[in-house]
Amino acid sequence: MQTVNYYDVLGVSPTADDFVIKAAYKALAQRYHPDKFHGNAKDAADAEAKIRQLNEAYQVLSDPAKRREYDAHFQQGAQQNQHNSQQKSEQAKQQADWAIALRFYPDLTELETRLGKVDPSLIPKFRSSLLASQQYEQRQRVASQLEQSYLESFFGNDPKILECARDLLLAGH
């Protein structure tokens, strides 16, 4: 997928008609034509790069089939970017909420450390479970249930084996 937004390159809306795209291209091509920049090497190099971008954008947007394909990819990329942005926003909110919880329940750090020794993947599960339920008074029970469930999934239900596995994992083995 292209990293450059061709509509932005031409300064037009994604809903622009063909004649608007053509007019924008012609105006910008005249403005950035390399022959307009005599003497100043940096400006000439910038203009050449801009002309290449303009030509590429116009080549795609002026062809109906290429434009439809580009629009489909462009829209998919925009949706993915929006999803990523929402995910980051949710993660930031969760981190902020967790920081507040830690101020009121400092032993959460100890519970996380213990769960991390068993398996680091239990930490985000623990956080999201407590943040979703808001039952911080039950934090020890939630941590114990996650730990127990994890151990049972690998070692079965025998209490002696579970205790041995727990001790080994907590000791770092």
pLDDT tens-digit map of 112-155: 999 999 999 999 999 999 999 999 999 999 999 999 999 999 99
Residue 84 is predicted with a pLDDT of 74
Residue with tokens 């479970």: 129
**Is residue 105 scored above 90 in pLDDT?**
yes
Give the span between the Cα atoms of 145 and 129, in whole angstroms.
11
- Read off the pLDDT of each residue in 13-41 and give the average, rounded to a whole number: 84
Residue 124 is predicted with a pLDDT of 92
Residue 1 is predicted with a pLDDT of 44
Residue 76 is predicted with a pLDDT of 72
- 17 by DSSP, 3-state: which? coil
Give the span between the Cα atoms of 156 and 31, in whole angstroms.
74
The length of the chain is 173
pTM here is 0.50
Residue 85 is predicted with a pLDDT of 76
**Is residue 2 scored above 70 in pLDDT?**
no
- Under a CB-based contact definition with an 8 Å cutoff, are residues 126 and 115 in contact? yes
Q: Which helix (H) or strand (E) holds 39?
A: none
- 119-143 in b/e form (b: 16+ CB < 10 A) is eeebbeebbebbeeeeeeeebeebb
Residue 131 is predicted with a pLDDT of 92
pLDDT tens-digit map of 45-104: 888 888 999 999 999 999 999 999 998 887 776 667 676 777 788 888 889 999 999 999
Please give the domain boundaries of the chain with CATH numbers for all domains: 6-85 (1.10.287.110), 105-170 (no CATH)
